[in-house]
Amino acid sequence: MLKLVTRETETPEDELRASTPDELLTRVAGGDQQAFAELYDQTAPRVLGLIKRLLKDHAQSEEVTQEVFLEIWQTATRFDTARGSASSWMLTMAHRRAVDRVRASQAGRDRDLRIGVRDLDTDFDSVTESVEIRIEHERVERALGRLTELQRQAVKLAYYGGYSHSEVAAMLGVPIGTVKTRLRDGMIRLRDEMGVAS
């Protein structure tokens, strides 16, 4: 039951003497809501500050602070003055909750990364890709087989060999204009053979 204190029963010394967090937490353990409000007013800035140093994010820090004070209200009966001060008990609780939130966030990021990598891996099928490459290579070889010998030589040297037009002309012993014509005609014929739109 909530205990109400009226001004008539307070003495001037009571008004001047603020309750310590230890005293307030002891009263909170008995269900005193007013003591909890006072305890919150006294300690919330320190608790929020500690949590904010760990989480950085203000909104998350406020959320975790709210969770800490809910836990304080629910577990105040466990507080033992022989084992330490109320402030250290509360700050330890706040630190633990903040670390839990950091770990949960990291675990979520790790899980998302694993799922992303897994999905990426399943989208890649090396067998299908190698079959497609082989089929495409066979199509190109068939199309090259339909070119004239001079066109085929020029295309292979220029595109597979990586030689320049002047180098192909020197290797084949023909003028550069002839190489360019053979390449142009060969590429047009390859495009037609492979059904590639121009």
Say if 8 falls within a structural domain: no
Say yes or no to pLDDT of 114 above 80.
no
Q: What is the pLDDT of residue 80?
A: 87
What's the mean pLDDT when you consider all of the chain? Answer: 82
pLDDT in tens, 44-70: 999 999 999 988 889 999 999 999 999
Q: What is the pLDDT of residue 16?
A: 45
Say yes or no to pLDDT of 150 above 90.
no
Two structure tokens written together for 24 = 């307030």
Residues 51 and 80 in one domain: yes
pLDDT in tens, 14-30: 444 568 999 999 999 99
The domain boundary, picked from 61, 94, 123, lies at: 123
Two structure tokens written together for 105 = 């966030």
Residue 49 lies in domain? 15-123
Residues 100 and 176 in one domain: no
pTM, whole model, 2 decimals?
0.49
Q: What is the pLDDT of residue 139?
A: 82
Say if 94 falls within a structural domain: yes
Residues 114 and 184 in one domain: no
Domain with 80 in it: what CATH number? 1.10.1740.10
Residues 36 and 114 in one domain: yes
Residues 21 and 106 in one domain: yes
- Tell me what the mean pLDDT of segment 31-42 comes to: 95
The Cα 11–Cα 34 span in angstroms is 18
The Cα 75–Cα 170 span in angstroms is 91
Closest CA to 183 of 163, 165, 196, 160: 165
Residues 71 and 136 in one domain: no
Domain with 183 in it: what CATH number? 1.10.10.10
Q: Residue 38 is which amino acid?
A: E
Residues 106 and 131 in one domain: no
Quickly tell me which residue has 């839990």 as its tokens.
100
- Tell me what the mean pLDDT of segment 129-138 comes to: 81
pLDDT tier at 76, thresholds 50, 70, 90: very high
Q: How far is CA 19 from the centre of its chain?
A: 45
Give the lowest-confidence range in 38-42, 58-62, 121-125, 147-151: 121-125
The domain boundary, picked from 123, 149, 169, lies at: 123
Helix (DSSP H) and strand (DSSP E) numbers for the chain: 9, 0
Residues 119 and 51 in one domain: yes
